[in-house]
């Protein structure tokens, strides 16, 4: 048999067709480009082992009771777990060493999240939604504030006073709208930051803010012009105790009860200039991209990181439901024989197992896309990757004043805002949406199957399957509804090369 | 009277029952929906349960000579559907009671059950507790001594915490494989009850785990006929289960329709996004299909069409599955608000998933249906 050889031109021709390798096999691209994939593997397996130990020692003994406590008293906050997570170093685990953190690679965060969510999605959110706030802060590339707030989180670990960061973006009249610049100008925006001497005066409210009541810092997205929010976006860091800022009510949720969903109220809240993470007026000074395009890049960078995280939560829920149903089916007798020996039950369990593993493969692809194209891209650049891995923390502490230099922020914004390629945005954002709605739908499917397989026992709180269903449902809603994410995938990975396509 | 006239009267009566259920739901259930969904459980539904008795909701399948209305399963389905649109917990109570009564109805074909019926016609004897969420093949069944004393455990005995009487199966000690149904007084010595079990949905229709130690009980019907009675009950109550799920689904659709008209996203009413309309369309299709199926099945039962049981079983499974799927979408259409207790959608989603367990595990019921079809085809 003869050997078929491709000329270089032929290869280029065939590889230029959709689907391109760089679009769809992010893991392959990452392993080709990322230095030291063995080190990455070690970080991931450490993260998984750490999460499992945390589950055994902290989460499993309390998660059902916390769910009941919140059901009985909506004011209940699970400070014990928050303090434990702080004690275990989870609040700085994924913060780069250069900012005082432990510098574990962000790719490892996703399997870490899955592990905790496989026991309790609510507590996984309590432990990890802090990184949503941190990611948003990072997406501003305000290195001075990133360094200052990250080091305060580190001090909180040392002193035993958790310093968490929340993200405040959703408004009473605008949920989906605030996650997409093409929609936001048509949305009902109410939280306005007015520029005043020395800072901003903020009025309005934010709702559904995960970990709001237990966080110290709140990365607030507001707008100077309610009629043109897409081009007048301001990102502020609001700290507890600032005049004019207070917490409002706590939502009564169906699930994920451990993680408080807070209302944040701003009444003439003054935020000094030093806590302005990013303001549109700074962005408009550059001409290579419009303000709206930069804002969209910021949003894409944040939600691409966090949507993959939501997908990992969902895989955790799907896995928890599967594992609960599997354990149950080994003990339960149906029509005289163990449930696990009914072939139809084996088939259902196999389907659930498949969903978990397909979901994991998908969210890891998104994690790799983020490492190559998203917020973590900078950390994947070889000198920075090696520096963060090999240079001791004290060294970074010594040189950290360098982050206060405006030129550092300028430089990182140049790279991450103005020279950020559209193709990267499409891959990371498209994949994040794919995994977000794909995995969260699988989460619901698996939790439903668990209840079908377990009957009324699956509905009992003391047995545990029903909680996964309640918890999983929120995953289809937050970080952009699955409907928004379907359109976002279409926009970024399907319709991008079709000039006739219009979305939204 | 000709058939057409009879049908006309029947339709009018059914309409009157439907209206009564709607009125009951709007007066008794809607305003207290969140309160009755509360945990820990308080004085659940006490007044409402009594009022449901006063309007005769517990007597729909009880023979007229014992105080029932004897109106049958079209009427029961109509009541359950209309109540479930507002709050399915009350429908769960009526369903559970009807399931217990149907066991006695089936037994009355074999033996004289007038003494039992008379017992139940006493004040506050209804509703009866019953394991309405468990199929007989998946139950942990207690044992019955020769003297008719029951010992063992019944998990999630629905209404066990509030009812005077319970209908439950037991294995005969002399013939281990034979299962019979018994009725017992839940106030008797030898009974221990757990706290109401906190479950996914239908919180105002709670179950308890019951531990029995030599509790005297009365045999219902013939000894060893428990499985037969259960299967017949299952067929009849399948229509009720389908109606209950359909009501939840309808309630979810109506709330989603209203919300998507009222709220704006991206500068237009949410309902004007075609992706949203498609979800609503799918829900509407499931309601129309479910409604037609249920009406057809009720018709088959009322007219004694052969094989109505298979239709009823298939519809119960199918509508319950549709309701689970659609109520998840019903939450989705309200976004974050759908997930919060301020709206009824999250409760409907929970209720629909628990309602899917009525009469037993759905996959087991599917297998039973196909077993029956295969058996008949041979």
Model confidence pLDDT, tens digit, residues B205-264: 999 999 999 999 999 999 999 999 999 999 999 999 999 999 999 999 999 999 999 999
Give the pLDDT mean for A190-203.
Answer: 96
At residue A177, does pLDDT exceed 90? no
Q: What is the dihedral of CA B12, B17, B21, B22, to 10 degrees?
A: 10
Instruction: Identify the residue with better confidence: A116 or A418.
Output: A116
Alpha-carbon span B14 to B37, nearest angstrom: 29
Give the pLDDT mean for A12-41.
Answer: 84
Model pLDDT for residues A137-159, shown as the tens digit of each residue: 999 999 999 999 999 999 999 99
State the best of A177, A186, A252, A455 to mutate against chain B, taking most chain B CBs within 10 Å.
Answer: A455
B124 near A CB under 8 A: no
- Continuous H helices in B25-136: 33-36, 46-54, 73-86, 88-107, 114-120
Any residues with CB less than 8 A from the CB of A398 and at least 6 apart, and which?
Answer: none
Query: Would you give the DSSP letter of residue A417?
Result: I
Alpha-carbon span B119 to A440, nearest angstrom: 52
Nearest C-alpha of chain B: how many angstroms from A235? 21
Q: Is B185 helix (H, G, I), strand (E, B) or coil?
A: strand
- Among the partner-chain residues A173, A474, A487, the one whose CB lies closest to the CB of B339 is A474
User: Does the predicted interface ipTM exceed a cut of 0.90?
Assistant: yes
Model pLDDT for residues A374-408, shown as the tens digit of each residue: 988 888 777 887 888 788 888 888 888 888 898 99
At residue A184, does pLDDT exceed 90? no
Say if CB A121 and CB A446 are below 8 A apart: no
Query: Would you give the DSSP letter of residue B58?
Result: G
Asked if the Cβ–Cβ distance from A175 to B335 is below 8 Å, we say yes
The reported pLDDT for the residue numbered A392 is: 87
> Percent of chain A, pLDDT > 90?
75
How does residue A35 score in pLDDT terms, banded at 50, 70 and 90? low
The reported pLDDT for the residue numbered B6 is: 53
Give the pLDDT mean for B124-140.
Answer: 93
Any residues with CB less than 8 A from the CB of B142 and at least 6 apart, and which?
Answer: B150, B151, B152, B153, B154, B168, B170, B171, B212
Burial A53-87 (b: 16+ CB within 10 A, else e): ebbeebbeebbbebbbbbbeeeebbbeebbebbbe
Could you give the count of Cα atoms lying within 13 Å of B352 in the half-sphere of its Cβ?
Answer: 34
Q: What is the dihedral of CA A173, A179, A182, A186, to 10 degrees?
A: 10
**Which domains occur in chain A, in start order?**
19-161+288-498 (1.20.140.10), 166-283 (2.40.110.10)
The reported pLDDT for the residue numbered A467 is: 98
Query: What average pLDDT does the structure give for chain B?
Result: 92
The reported pLDDT for the residue numbered B36 is: 83
Q: What is the dihedral of CA A160, A161, A167, A173, to 10 degrees?
A: 140
Any residues with CB less than 8 A from the CB of A218 and at least 6 apart, and which?
Answer: A133, A165, A166, A167, A168, A209, A212, A237, A238, A239, A245, A264
**Which residues in chain A have their CB less than 8 angstroms from residue B208's CB?**
none
Return phi, psi of residue B151, to 5°: -135, 135
State the best of B95, B339, B355 to mutate against chain A, taking most chain A CBs within 10 Å.
Answer: B339
Alpha-carbon span A208 to A163, nearest angstrom: 20
> Percent of chain B, pLDDT > 70?
96
Model pLDDT for residues B26-84, shown as the tens digit of each residue: 988 888 888 888 877 766 677 888 888 888 899 999 998 898 887 888 999 999 999 99
Return phi, psi of residue B207, to 5°: -110, 160
At residue A97, does pLDDT exceed 60? yes
**Which domains occur in chain B, in start order?**
3-120 (1.10.540.10), 129-224 (2.40.110.10), 227-377 (1.20.140.10)
- State which H helix or E strand residue A50 sits in: helix A37-54
B367 near A CB under 8 A: yes
Return phi, psi of residue B164, to 5°: -80, -45
List the 8-47 stretch of B: residues with Cβ below 8 A of A: 39-40
Model pLDDT for residues B107-130, shown as the tens digit of each residue: 999 999 999 999 988 878 889 999
- Let me know how many helices (H) and strands (E) chain B has, helices first: 12, 10
**Which residues in chain A have their CB less than 8 angstroms from residue B361's CB?**
334, 452-455
How does residue A179 score in pLDDT terms, banded at 50, 70 and 90? confident
List the 301-360 stretch of B: residues with Cβ below 8 A of A: 324, 328, 331-332, 335-336, 338-342, 346, 349-350, 353-354, 356-357, 360
Say if CB A398 and CB A58 are below 8 A apart: no
Asked if the Cβ–Cβ distance from B275 to A345 is below 8 Å, we say no
Nearest C-alpha of chain B: how many angstroms from A228? 13
B194 near A CB under 8 A: no
**Which residues in chain B have their CB less than 8 angstroms from residue A255's CB?**
339
B264 near A CB under 8 A: yes
Alpha-carbon span A404 to A398, nearest angstrom: 13
Nearest C-alpha of chain B: how many angstroms from A254? 6
Instruction: Identify the residue with better confidence: B48 or A363.
Output: A363
Paired sense of beta strands B218-220 and A217-223, if any: unpaired
**Which residues in chain B have their CB less than 8 angstroms from residue A227's CB?**
none
B276 near A CB under 8 A: yes
Highest mean pLDDT of the ranges A347-361, B52-66, B124-138: A347-361
Asked if the Cβ–Cβ distance from B338 to A477 is below 8 Å, we say yes
How does residue B1 score in pLDDT terms, banded at 50, 70 and 90? very low
The reported pLDDT for the residue numbered B10 is: 62
**Which residues in chain B have their CB less than 8 angstroms from residue A175's CB?**
265, 335-336
Angle at B289 between CA B83 and CA A450, to 5 degrees: 75
Give the pLDDT mean for A288-301.
Answer: 89
> Percent of chain B, pLDDT > 90?
75
């Amino acid at each position: 048999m003869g050997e078929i050889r491709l000329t270089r031109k032929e290869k280029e021709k065939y590889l230029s067709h959709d689907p391109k390798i760089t679009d769809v096999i992010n893991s392959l691209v990452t392993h080709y480009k990322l230095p030291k994939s063995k080190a990455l593997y070690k970080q991931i397996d450490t993260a998984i082992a750490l999460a499992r130990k945390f589950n055994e020692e902290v989460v499993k003994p309390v998660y059902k009771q916390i769910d009941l406590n919140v059901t009985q008293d909506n004011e209940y906050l699970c400070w014990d777990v928050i303090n434990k997570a702080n004690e275990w170093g989870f609040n700085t685990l994924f913060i780069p060493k250069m900012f005082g953190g432990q510098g574990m690679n962000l790719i490892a965060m996703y399997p870490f999240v899955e592990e905790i969510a496989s026991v309790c999605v609510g507590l996984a959110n309590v432990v990890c939604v802090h990184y949503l706030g941190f990611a948003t802060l990072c997406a501003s590339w305000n290195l001075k504030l990133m360094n200052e707030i990250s080091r305060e989180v580190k001090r909180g670990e040392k002193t035993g006073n958790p310093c968490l960061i929340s993200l405040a973006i959703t408004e009473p009249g605008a949920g989906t709208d605030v996650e997409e610049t093409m929609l936001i100008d048509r949305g009902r925006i109410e939280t306005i930051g007015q520029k005043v001497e020395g800072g901003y005066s903020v009025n309005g409210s934010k709702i559904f803010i995960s970990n709001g009541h237990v966080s110290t810092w709140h990365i607030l997205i507001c707008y100077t012009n309610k009629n043109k929010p897409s081009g007048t976006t301001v990102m502020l860091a609001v700290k507890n105790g600032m005049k004019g800022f207070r917490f409002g009510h706590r939502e009564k949720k169906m699930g994920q009860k451990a993680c408080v969903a807070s209302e944040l109220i701003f009444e003439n809240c003054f935020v000094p200039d030093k806590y302005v993470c990013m303001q549109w007026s700074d962005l408009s000074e550059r001409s290579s991209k419009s303000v709206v395009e930069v804002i969209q890049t910021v949003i894409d960078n944040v939600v691409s990181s966090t949507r993959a995280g939501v997908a990992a939560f969902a895989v955790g829920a799907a896995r928890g439901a599967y594992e609960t149903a599997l354990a149950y089916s080994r003990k339960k007798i149906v029509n005289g024989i163990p449930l696990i020996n009914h072939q139809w039950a084996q088939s259902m369990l196999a389907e659930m197992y498949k969903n978990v593993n397909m979901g994991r493969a998908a969210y890891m692809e998104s994690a790799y896309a983020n490492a190559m194209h998203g917020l973590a891209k900078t950390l994947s650049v070889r000198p920075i990757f090696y520096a963060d891995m090999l240079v001791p923390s004290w060294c970074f502490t010594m040189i950290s004043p360098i982050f206060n230099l405006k030129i550092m922020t300028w430089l990182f914004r140049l790279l991450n805002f103005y020279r950020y390629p559209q193709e990267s945005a499409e891959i990371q954002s498209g994949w994040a949406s794919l995994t977000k709605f794909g995995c969260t739908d699988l989460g619901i499917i698996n939790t439903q199957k668990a209840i079908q397989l377990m009957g009324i026992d699956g509905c009992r709180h003391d047995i545990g399957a029903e909680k996964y269903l309640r918890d999983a449902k929120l995953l289809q809603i937050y970080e952009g509804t699955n409907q928004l994410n379907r359109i976002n995938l279409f926009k970024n990975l399907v319709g991008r090369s079709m000039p006739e396509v219009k979305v939204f | 009277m000709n058939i057409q006239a009879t049908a006309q009267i029947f339709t009018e009566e059914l309409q009157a029952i439907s209206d009564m259920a709607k009125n009951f739901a709007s007066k008794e259930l809607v305003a207290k929906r969140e309160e009755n969904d509360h945990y820990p459980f308080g004085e659940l539904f006490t007044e409402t349960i009594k009022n449901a008795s006063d309007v005769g909701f517990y007597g729909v399948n009880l023979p007229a000579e014992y105080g029932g209305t004897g109106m049958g399963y079209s009427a029961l389905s109509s009541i359950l559907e209309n109540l479930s649109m507002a709050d399915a917990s009350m429908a769960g109570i009526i369903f559970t009671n009807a399931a217990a009564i149907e066991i006695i109805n089936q037994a009355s074909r074999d033996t004289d059950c007038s003494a039992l019926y008379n017992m139940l016609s006493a004040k506050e004897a209804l509703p009866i507790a019953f394991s309405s969420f468990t199929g007989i093949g998946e139950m942990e069944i207690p044992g019955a001594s020769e003297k008719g004393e029951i010992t063992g455990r019944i998990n999630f005995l629905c209404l066990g915490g509030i009812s005077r009487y319970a209908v439950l199966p037991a294995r005969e000690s002399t013939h281990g494989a034979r299962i019979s149904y018994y009725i017992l007084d839940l106030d008797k010595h030898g009974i221990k009850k757990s706290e109401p079990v906190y479950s996914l949905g239908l919180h105002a229709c709670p179950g308890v785990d019951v531990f029995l130690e030599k509790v005297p009980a009365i045999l219902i019907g013939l000894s060893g006929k428990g499985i037969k009675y259960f299967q017949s009950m299952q067929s009849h109550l399948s229509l009720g289960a389908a109606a209950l799920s359909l009501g939840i689904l309808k309630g979810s659709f109506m709330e989603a329709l209203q919300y998507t008209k009222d709220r704006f996203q991206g500068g237009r009413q949410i309902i004007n996004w075609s992706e949203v309309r498609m979800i609503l369309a799918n829900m509407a299709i499931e309601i129309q299909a479910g409604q037609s199926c249920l009406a057809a099945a009720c018709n088959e039962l009322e007219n004694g069409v052969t094989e109505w049981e298979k239709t009823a079983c298939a519809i119960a499974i199918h509508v319950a599955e549709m309701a689970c799927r659609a109520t998840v979408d019903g939450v989705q259409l309200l976004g974050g608000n759908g997930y919060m207790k301020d709206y009824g959608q999250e409760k409907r989603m929970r209720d629909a998933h628990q309602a899917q367990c009525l009469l037993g595990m759905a996959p087991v019921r599917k297998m039973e249906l196909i077993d029956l079809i295969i058996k008949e085809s041979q």
